Chains A and B, each alone.
Chain A
């Protein structure tokens, strides 16, 4: 089945630094990549949607200059958290879409970001 590989699975960084999270679709071409964050015991909140080769569409309230998304190829999308602060600590998950609303939602395994 479709697999999305997400790295790193866990990262701890100092406040003020930047962190990059990668998601690769291993056996399919993800024309669309969704980025979510999930707080403990809460649901997934969509942060942004990115289509290969174009700018990401951010959800209301998500700072585009803080959460930089790049989707340069059909198999790779990255999320960079810039100038991270402790309140950015969260679980970040990507999901690759192929256009089929049911078959395309393959999630990565998530990245636990802790900003100290």
Chain B
């Protein structure tokens, strides 16, 4: 079993839809949770991060962490074609080393 599981998609939704991206994990020691966005042939860029459980909102993006279920989510409201990318969840137990999910390829159709 992988430490972090993420549905690779692809996921295709119409512009304006609410997108839900999810990851599950097995290591209960993870404390730091991050979402990265990666455009084709580019390095990932940090979108959002949270520590421990709870929600965090930044503009159209909301990150949720449920440590009891070992489940994290990223919601994108009012999705735009420019949101089309691969989204990777990543987590850590406190050391700098990150464990990444497989990434979900998202396409927003105009």
Contact = CB atoms under 8 A, between A and B. Distances in A.
Contact of A107 (B44, B94, B96): B44
Contacts of A42: 102-103
B1 to A, nearest CB: 15
Nearest to A23: B43
B102 A101 contact: no
A18 B85 CA distance: 32
Contacts, number: 57
Contacts of B105: 41
A44 B36 CA distance: 11
A68 interface: no
Nearest to B98: A105
Contacts of A43: 4, 6, 88, 100-103
B46 A105 contact: yes
A112 to B, nearest CB: 7
B88 A97 contact: no
Interface in B38-92: 41-46, 49, 88, 92
Interface of B: 4, 6, 8, 32, 34, 36, 41-46, 49, 88, 92, 94, 96-98, 100-103, 105
Interface of A: 4, 6, 9, 32, 34, 41-44, 46, 49, 91, 93, 95, 97, 99, 101-102, 104-105, 107-110, 112
